[in-house]
Structure 1
C-alpha cells in the first residue's frame, strides 16, 4: 500500500505538467488610450490623425459611442475636419493607406471650433465646463477652479469634490463669500452655440442662480 501511495504522489507533477502545456494561452488585451486629433471623412470612413503626428487611423465605433452620427452632423455644417477627443484601442487595419485602426471605447468630445491641439492647458485640467446665456467657463485642476464670465473679474476658488451615484459628481466652494456648486453628470451634451458634442452635462449654481452647460474631462483626469 505505501508503494501505491508513492506512485500516485510521483505522478502528480506529470499530470500538472500536462495540464499546463495543454491550456490555451491567455488572449492579449490591448489597453485603451486617450487621444486628441483631427477627424475627417475619407472614402465614406472616419479617419483620425493624432495631434502632432502624421499617422492616420480608421475609426471603428464598435462600442456604439455615436461618433459617426455626431461627426456627420458637424461636418455637414462646418469645415472638412473636426477636432476629436476620444479613447480607443490601437489594432491592425486591412484598409490600405492607413497606419492602423482605432476601436473606440469612449467619446469625450468633438468640435469644429476652439484651440483643439493647441490647447496648452488641457493636460493640467481635470475638468472644463461651460455654458451660454449668460456665458460662463469653469476650468478646474487639482489645486482649484477658475470661473470666467464676460465683463467680470475671474473668480479663483478652492473646491471640494463629492462623488455621487451613477458616475455623477459635484464641485463646491464657499470661499470669498460666494456659494458655488457645479453638478456634473455622464450625459451627452450639445453646446447650444457651436454644436460641439461633449460627454458630460453640467449645471452651475452661483448664489442661487442656475446656469446649464456641457463639460468634459481634462487630460489630468483618468476616470
Structure 2
C-alpha cells in the first residue's frame, strides 16, 4: 500500500519508508479522549470553515463529500459547489465498508460520506453531463457518514498523525514539535517535545519520553473501523503509555495545503 504521501516532503527520509517520496496514491478531529465525533470525547472549539484550494497535486490529501450510487458516484471537494464524477481506483473500499448503511432518511442509495483521500482531478478526461470534472480516487484514508463528523466544517489538520481508541478512551496527536496524549483520567493531558520516529516496511513508530512518562505509538497500514462510531480509517494504531497498552485507529494529517 502506498502511504504517508500527504506529509510534508521534508519528512520523506524519515516517514516514507512505507512508500518512498515519489508521487503516490489511507481520529481524527484533533485527537482527544473522548472525541465528539464519536460521541465519546471532548475536543477544542471548532475553527471556522475555510474554502480549500483545488490542490491538483496527488501529493495533497483531498477532503470532500462522496455520494455513493449504484451507477455514478460523485465527489464534491470541500469549499466547492459542484460535483466531480468519482472514478474509484481502489478495490471498492467505500462501497464495501459502508454497504447496507442508510442516510438520515433511511435510504441506502445516495449515501453521503465525508472522505479524506489521495487522488486527483483527471484533467484530460471529459466529464459526463452534470459533472464539473472527474476525480480519480486512489486511496481512501478516512470516511464517515456526512453529518456524523464536522468534516468540511473544519480546516485541514496540521498534525502528522492522530490516533484514538475506545474503552479505555485515549487520543494522541503527533506534530513536528510534540506528541500530545489525552485521556479522561489523570493525567488528562501529557505533552512531550521532540518525538523520535522510526520506520519499517508497513509501519511507522513514534517514541516520546520525559522524566515522568514514556509514550510509544505504532501506526500500521491496516484498515480499521471505530467500534463505536463506525468511522473508517486506513491505518490502525497501537500505543503504550508507561507500560499500559492501548489499541485503536489512526488518521494521517494534511500538511500539503
Deviation, structure 1 residue 197: 0.8
User: Secondary structure of 1:211's partner?
Assistant: strand
Alignment of 1:16-165 (within 5 A): 31-32=57-58, 33-42=60-69, 44-64=71-91, 66-73=93-100, 75-76=101-102, 80-91=111-122, 92-112=125-145, 113-120=148-155, 122-152=156-186, 153-165=188-200
Contact 1:126/1:221 (8 A) holds in 2:
no
Structure 1 gap segments, 5+ residues each: 1-29
User: Residue 158 of structure 2 contacts residue 175 of structure 2 at CA under 8 Å; is this kept in 1?
Assistant: yes
Give the Cα separation in 2 of the matches to 1:78 and 1:179. 43
Question: Cα deviation per residue 1:145-201 (whole Å; 9 max; x = unaligned)?
Answer: 211112442111124333322131111111141111011111111111111111111
Shift of 1:211: 0.7
CA contact (8 A) 1:109 1:197 kept: yes
- Higher deviation after alignment, 155-164 or 103-112: 155-164
Q: Deviations over 1:88-134 (max 9, x none)?
A: 121234422111111121111101222211234x4311111000011
The 8 Å contact of residues 61 and 68 in structure 1, kept in 2 or not, is answered as: no
**Which segment drifts farther, 58-67 or 96-105?**
58-67
Q: Which protein has the larger Cα radius of gyration, Structure 1 or Structure 2? A: 1
TM-score by length of 1: 0.76
* CA spacing shift, 1:184–1:176, aligned 2, 3 Å: same
Structure 2 unaligned segments of length 5 or more: list them. Answer: 1-55, 106-110
Instruction: Give 4+ residue runs of structure 1 displaced > 3 Å after superposition.
Output: 77-80
Larger proportion of strand? 1
Q: Which has the higher helix share?
A: 1
Q: Residues 72 and 157 of structure 1: is their aligned pair in 2 closer, same or farther, counting only changes over 3 Å?
A: same
What CA distance in whole angstroms lies between the structure 2 residues aligned with 1:109 and 1:131? 15
Alpha-carbon RMSD across the aligned residues, in angstroms, is 2.3
**Greater mean deviation of Cα atoms: 76-85 or 182-191:** 76-85
